[in-house]
Structure 1
Amino acid sequence: MKRILSAVLTLSMALGFTSGCASVKNMNVGRTAASILISDEQEAQLGLQVKQELETKEKIKYLEDPTVVEYVRTVSTRILQQANKDRQGVKWKVNVIDDPKTVNAFATPGGYLYVYTGLLLAADNEAELAGVMGHEAGHVTGRHSAQALMLQYGEQALIDAALGKNSGTVAQIAANLAGSGAGLAFSRSNETEADDFGAKYTSAVNYDPNGLVTFFQKLAAEEGKVPGVMKWLSTHPPSAERVQHLNSYISKNRLTGSDVGADRLAPIKARLKK
């Protein structure tokens, strides 16, 4: 039975990398297979172990400014309340990494979200930040993190890591996340779905759903000029087709939102620049 489920998962992931529109059916197959092969509890345990590895071995440094950290968590909370409607039971944890030169954010299984101060500085307004956090939350909501890790490391290795029996896999995951910024190789369909989630979640709390679009476009324009920008672009390539899809999704679903919040992000960026 395990071999059958593994084959289903591998097939669904492989289909996600093909060209063309993302198939809802394929995404649902991959999500279902992931939920069968690794439980919510195992995802949470894996996320915790990766967090501990990032802190002890990779020596990531968390931002100590409580004002900025609380700001990010407040913005994220509104988004995560919407994400909870698509996947219940996730115990979200939002962490701010103190690295102004790196424009990056990532999610790991179990609801662990990480955002770099460099991304806060790169965003022009709160809607862009909310869009990024919504996108990363979407990876957890859609079980993309578990799917991607299974494809990269194998089902048994990942389950053993969650059970504390494979420290090598946990160390490799953490090293890739902290180093190259490409620790999770999401499929094309996963990225598309996460984009949709990000737009939907931000619009639901009255943020301008175009925040993620403008952030993509801005990073693409700066590619090659600012080395740290490549961190997020390496796993989230803002192709013209991707931006077009997101614009189409927003229009088709009549997503609206007027809150941009540039005035609220400005003092936060000022604190980070000091």
Structure 2
Amino acid sequence: MHRLLRKTWLLLGLAASLGTAASCSKDGDGVLLFSVEDDKALGDKVAASTDSTFRAKGQLVERSANPRAYDLLGQIVNRVLNSGQLQYRNEFPWDVKIIKDDQMQNAFATPGGHIYVYSGLIKFLDNESQLAGVLGHEIAHADRRHTSRLLQKEYGINVLLSLLLGENRGQVVQIASSLGQLSFSRDYEREADEYSVIYLNGTNHYPCDGAAGFFIKAEQQGQAAPPEFLSTHPNPGTRIQDIQTKADALNCRQRTASSDTFNQLKAAL
């Protein structure tokens, strides 16, 4: 307990001393004051609240209720995670949950690598490479610690530290409910797109511009309410071009990959 309190005061002092630097940092995202262990602790709390919220709505697909779907989705997720390109592959838990909502074409990740995928996204996509690309994008937000930086900016270091001390439980619920609608900065979206390509290249399996396929289809269908990671600047056309340019530079765009696992996943849902 004394050790935790000492750490808290040290962090609060650091937050005060870095306040000016953080406010002047690139894109306004500030200096990340959270450690990797803090990321994991906060992520565990937020994931528990997220699970509870969707379970209460009857939307959380329990692994015991559909082990087949989880096994199939896990195969795709693990190809991306085991690409050899993640910073925190062994530090974060990287578990995945399915949310039953066929109208929501979205996915998100908490700090510390808890991944949530809506059934509507899986059913919307055409092939496994597209799903791997979107998963790579969301994994990048957690692995590059974008989510923690954004939450620090939105709520402040004092609030986040209080959550780690077990206070402000209502704030945990608020943060959990907002994760699917977080508006990342231009730089963070570009970096997540870039690392989606890098991760898929590292799989030696998927054509690495998979995320572009999702953006192309969503644009063609003219979605009235696109998911946040599609609507956030830069515009989808620019993102498609950037993803394909990165994929061409890595010479990994022309691969062909089977969608058998993905098609079975669709059928299992």
TM-score range, shorter chain: 0.7 to 0.9
- Tell me, in whole angstroms, the C-alpha distance in 2 between the residues paired with 1:77 and 1:138: 14
Superimposed CA distance per residue, residues 100-142 of structure 1 (whole angstroms, 9 cap, x where no aligned partner): 2211100110111110111110111111111111111111111
Per the alignment, in what secondary structure is the counterpart of residue 82 of structure 1?
Answer: coil
Percent identical residues: 33
- Residues 57 and 126 of structure 1: CA distance in aligned 2, closer, same or farther (over 3 Å): closer
Aligned-partner residue type, residue 244 of structure 2: N
- Report SS of the residue matched to 1:214: helix
Structure 1 pair 191/230, CA: closer, same or farther in 2 (3 Å)? closer
Q: Corresponding residue for 2:42?
A: 46
Query: Which secondary structure state, in structure 1, belongs to the residue aligned with residue 98 of structure 2?
Result: strand
**Cα deviations by residue, 1:178-225 (Å, 9 ceiling, x for unpaired):** xxx31x221110111111111111121120112110111111222336
Amino acid aligned to 1:66: P
Bigger radius of gyration, 1 or 2? Answer: 2
Supply the AA of the counterpart residue of 1:244: Q
Distance 2:178 2:117 in 1: 16
Deviation at 1:2, TM superposition (A): 2.3
Map 1:120-199 → 2, pairs under 5 A: 120-177=122-179, 181-182=180-181, 184-199=182-197
Which residue matches 1:77?
A: 78
Aligned residue number for residue 27 of structure 1 = none
**1:243 counterpart = 2:256:** no
Pick which of 68-77 and 50-59 moved more.
50-59
SS at match of 1:86: coil
Shift in alpha-carbon separation, 1:116–1:75, aligned structure 2, 3 A: same
Letter in 2 for 1:213: A
User: Distance between the aligned counterparts of 1:6 and 1:76, measured in 2?
Assistant: 38
Relative to structure 1, is the Cα distance of residues 116 and 160 closer, same or farther in structure 2, using a 3 angstrom cutoff? same
**What RMSD in Å do the two structures reach over aligned CA positions?**
2.3
Question: Is the Cα–Cα contact under 8 Å of residues 13 and 147 in structure 1 kept in the other structure?
Answer: no
Q: Distance in 2 between matches of 1:62 and 1:252?
A: 39
Instruction: Measure, in 2, the Cα distance between the counterparts of 1:172 and 1:217.
Output: 32
Match of 1:215 in 2: 214
- Measure the CA separation in 1 of the matches of 2:243 and 2:176: 30
2:109 paired residue among 104, 107, 114: 107
Q: Do 2:87 and 2:143's aligned partners in 1 also have CA atoms closer than 8 Å?
A: yes
Offset at 1:235? 4.7
Structure 1 residue identity aligned to 2:106? N
Tell which deviates more after alignment, 92-101 or 126-135: 92-101
Q: Out of 25, 34, 40, which is 1:12 matched to?
A: 25
Q: Is the 8 Å Cα contact of residues 183 and 228 (structure 2) preserved in structure 1?
A: no
User: What residue is the counterpart of 2:230 in the other structure?
Assistant: 233
1:55 paired with 2:54, answer: no
- Change in Cα spacing, 1:167 to 1:66, as seen in structure 2 (3 Å) is same
Instruction: Letter of the 2:107 partner, please give it.
Output: A
Equivalent residue for 1:21?
Answer: none
Structure 1 spans left out of the alignment, 5+ residues: 17-29
Deviation at 1:72, TM superposition (A): 0.8
The SS at the match of 1:115 is: strand
Partner in structure 1 of residue 200 of structure 2: 202
Aligned in 2, Cα 1:230/1:194: closer, same or farther, shift over 3 Å? closer
Runs of 4+ in 1 over 4 A off after TM superposition: 234-238
Name the residue aligned to 1:2: 15
Residue of structure 1 in register with 2:262 after alignment: 265
